[in-house]
């Protein structure tokens, strides 16, 4: 399927690193510290370490995939190459919903913070916008659309400036809060007052994984990176390590700087008394200027992150169309800017939709955010399957100890998904199962084949979803506790390994690929040379 126009490879290593770091640092860091402390106490520091380790292993897998196949919207394209267009369509569906809704969510968060300075933007305690507040969101999203239709170099320059500012404010928070640290805070109520088991909840629903979800926008723009075989792996690794270091320091500084008098009833109350953790704590400590800086960052950071996700959403639409399961209309690239302007415009319409008031907004956002975590889980299976179905393509970056690292990454992702609980998983997995069968039926009809033939490489996905549903209903995270902790975690980990090896072996045979796929793989195998990093 030929595309119209071509992406321009203009993004440097610095651009890509700041893109990843900027995507990670949105609204998450502004809220999560107090929630994590309320759930896990000082042990919340370990939650950030655990989340960072999980994302780092997933990042390593993406490094190998992106270096071997540096193409736009890789999060959709890699599984489509290894397991067929239906899996690509499924990932396109869930990732597009997640990215576009997160774009709107970040802009809504920015408007809510701005409302503390500009009266008339928010109309009630729930943070709902007034007409003026909604129009402001509309204007900001429109400007973001225009920016994402510009050359990628213009977009990158804007993002670099915003991201540097986003880094300076958390750095100031860390430095000044460390001056107020009370060492006894880390042990006075116990390092893990609620037990180490609460770390799982803190990672999955306390905001830790949500805050780390900025990894894949780098993959989305892989088709626009200079020297992608070198810059993408390095940018992925640098952005994850930078983010993990800053998050751990922020959590440690927050825990140490809370006045001991506020901890008389323990850590459970901190989530309510310091609901805007760094702003409220700065006010309590008399650092009014720092509180104002946090508010400014609370407007700038979400806006910058939302802008990144709008661009990534457009490239997900483009990649979905490349699988052949979405209209080729989205494959049109602007010849001057090299951007998918049609996809950007449709993404803009979707972000406007997400800002409209309708029932179950909070529940929908929870499901969609969890869907994004699930989209990460398919990368290790795709990487393992690609080693089987295309062993001869050049891999400038090879994950060390791949036979351990890849299934371990899949296991970590599956555990995080399981920890989100039965309520979210029931809706999330049911919707994806329905979509997969509907997409299979529509695609089979268009190809003149049977639905069962089109699903032949996706049975492991169906088994994965059904198995997770069973575990969610039987486990201890909102389920019937037929599998009490920690046996439910052990069962989930073992189940994930079975699914991983099943999925790796159920790849598309090379003869199942289209002639275009052969040409691309052969061209990349011949054009890519050299090795990068961890061999």
d(CA 152, CA 236): 19
Q: What is the dihedral of CA 382, 383, 389, 390, to 10 degrees?
A: 130
d(CA 300, CA 210): 18
In a domain, 210, yes or no: yes
- H helix intervals, 390-401: none
d(CA 297, CA 299): 5
Q: Are 287 and 294 in contact (CB under 8 A)?
A: no
Q: Could you tell me the two tokens for 403?
A: 């036979």
Buried/exposed 368-391: b ≥16 CB within 10 Å, e otherwise: bbbbbbbbbbbbbbbbbbbbebbe
* pTM reported for the whole predicted model: 0.80
Cα–Cα distances in angstroms (integers) from residue 221 to residues 111, 232, 243, 322, 324, in the given order: 28, 10, 20, 15, 20
Q: Which residues contact 305 (CB under 8 A, 6 or more apart)?
A: 22, 23, 25, 26, 27, 102, 106, 214
| Omega within 30 of 0 (cis) for the link into 267 | no
Q: What pLDDT is recorded for position 185?
A: 92
Taking Cα atoms as reference points, which of 420, 450, 406 lies closest to residue 203? 420
In a domain, 463, yes or no: no
Q: What pLDDT is recorded for position 535?
A: 32
Q: H/E/C letters for each residue in 76-99?
A: HHHHHHHHCHHHHHHHHHHHHHHH
In a domain, 49, yes or no: yes
In a domain, 166, yes or no: yes
Q: Are 477 and 488 in contact (CB under 8 A)?
A: yes
pLDDT per residue as tens digits for the range 200-231:
777 876 778 777 876 777 777 777 778 877 88
Q: Which residues contact 516 (CB under 8 A, 6 or more apart)?
A: 1
DSSP3 helix / strand / coil % (the chain, rounded to 5): 75, 0, 25
CATH classification at residue 190: 1.20.1740.10
Helix axes 288-322 and 277-284, enclosed angle (nearest 10): 170
Q: Judge residue 103's burial from the number of C-beta atoms within 10 Å of its C-beta, 0-12 exposed, 13-18 middle, 19 or more buried.
A: buried
In a domain, 125, yes or no: yes
Q: What pLDDT is recorded for position 354?
A: 86
Which strand (E) or helix (H) includes residue 402?
A: helix 402-419
Q: Judge residue 505's burial from the number of C-beta atoms within 10 Å of its C-beta, 0-12 exposed, 13-18 middle, 19 or more buried.
A: exposed
d(CA 385, CA 297): 42
In a domain, 36, yes or no: yes
Q: What is the dihedral of CA 232, 234, 240, 246, to 10 degrees?
A: -130
In a domain, 286, yes or no: yes
Handedness of CA 208, 214, 216, 218 (dihedral sign): negative
Q: Which domain holds residue 165?
A: 13-391
DSSP 121: S
Q: In angstroms, what is the C-alpha Rg of the chain?
A: 23
How far is C-alpha 449 from the geometric centre of its chain's CA atoms? Answer: 35
* pLDDT tens sequence for the chain (535 residues): 444 555 667 788 888 888 888 777 776 777 788 889 988 999 999 999 988 888 888 888 888 888 888 777 778 888 888 888 899 999 899 888 888 888 888 888 788 778 777 888 888 766 678 889 999 999 999 999 999 998 878 878 887 888 888 788 899 999 999 999 999 999 988 898 888 777 877 787 677 877 787 677 777 777 777 887 788 888 888 888 888 899 999 999 999 999 999 998 889 888 888 878 898 899 999 999 999 898 888 888 888 888 888 988 998 998 899 888 888 898 888 888 788 899 999 999 999 998 886 533 344 455 556 667 777 788 899 999 988 888 888 888 888 889 999 999 999 889 888 888 888 888 888 888 999 999 999 988 888 888 888 888 899 999 999 999 999 999 988 899 999 988 999 999 999 999 999 999 987 654 444 544 544 554 444 444 333 433 3
Taking Cα atoms as reference points, which of 61, 69, 65, 55 lies closest to residue 399? 61
Which strand (E) or helix (H) includes residue 7?
A: none
DSSP 181: -
In a domain, 66, yes or no: yes
How many domains does the chain divide into? Answer: 1
């Amino acid at each position: 399927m030929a595309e119209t126009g071509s992406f321009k490879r203009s993004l440097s290593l610095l651009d890509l690193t700041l893109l990843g770091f900027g995507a990670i640092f949105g609204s998450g860091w502004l809220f999560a510290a107090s929630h994590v402390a309320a759930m896990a106490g000082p042990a919340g520091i370990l939650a950030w370490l655990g989340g960072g380790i999980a994302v780092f292993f997933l990042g390593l897998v993406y490094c190998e995939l992106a270096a071997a196949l540096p193409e736009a919207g890789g999060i959709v394209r890699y599984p489509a190459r290894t397991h067929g267009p239906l899996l690509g369509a499924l990932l396109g569906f869930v990732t597009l919903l997640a990215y576009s809704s997160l774009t709107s969510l970040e802009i809504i968060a920015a408007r809510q913070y701005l409302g503390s300075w500009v009266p008339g933007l928010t109309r009630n305690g729930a943070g709902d916008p007034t007409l003026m507040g909604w129009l402001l969101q509309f204007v900001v999203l429109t400007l973001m659309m225009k920016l994402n239709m510009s050359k990628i170099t213009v977009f990158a320059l804007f993002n670099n400036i915003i991201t540097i500012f986003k880094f300076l404010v958390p750095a100031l928070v860390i430095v000044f809060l460390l001056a107020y640290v009370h060492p006894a805070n880390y042990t006075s109520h116990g390092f893990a007052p609620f037990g180490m088991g609460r770390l799982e909840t803190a990672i999955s629903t306390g905001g830790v994984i949500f805050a780390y979800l900025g990894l894949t926008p780098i993959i989305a723009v892989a088709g626009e990176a200079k020297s992608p075989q070198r810059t993408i792996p390095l940018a992925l690794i640098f952005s994850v390590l930078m983010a993990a270091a800053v998050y751990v320091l922020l959590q440690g500084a927050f825990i140490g700087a809370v006045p001991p008098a506020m901890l008389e009833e323990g850590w459970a109350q901190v989530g309510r008394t310091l609901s805007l953790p760094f702003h409220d704590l700065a006010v309590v400590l008399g650092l009014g200027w720092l509180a104002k800086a946090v508010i400014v960052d609370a407007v700038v950071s979400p806006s910058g992150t939302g802008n990144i996700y709008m661009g990534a959403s457009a490239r997900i639409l483009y990649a979905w169309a490349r699988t052949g399961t979405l209209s080729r209309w989205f494959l049109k690239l602007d010849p001057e800017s090299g951007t998918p302007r049609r996809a950007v415009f449709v993404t803009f319409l979707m972000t406007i939709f997400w800002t409209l008031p309708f029932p179950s907004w909070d529940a929908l956002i929870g499901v969609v955010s969890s869907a994004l975590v699930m989209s990460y889980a398919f990368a290790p299976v795709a990487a393992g399957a690609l080693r089987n179905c295309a062993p001869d393509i050049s891999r400038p970056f090879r994950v060390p100890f791949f036979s351990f690292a890849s299934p371990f990454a899949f296991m970590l992702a599956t555990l995080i998904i399981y920890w989100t609980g039965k309520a979210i998983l029931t809706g999330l997995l049911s919707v994806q199962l329905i979509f997969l069968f509907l997409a299979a039926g529509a695609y089979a009809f268009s190809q003149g084949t049977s639905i069962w033939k089109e699903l032949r490489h996706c049975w492991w996905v169906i088994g994965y979803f059904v198995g997770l549903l069973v575990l969610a209903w039987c486990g201890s995270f909102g389920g019937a506790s037929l599998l009490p902790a920690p046996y439910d975690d052990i069962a989930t980990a073992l189940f994930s390994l079975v699914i991983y090896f099943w999925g790796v072996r159920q790849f598309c045979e090379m003869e199942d690929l289209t002639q275009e796929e052969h040409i691309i793989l052969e061209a990349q195998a011949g054009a890519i040379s050299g090795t990068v990093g961890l061999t």
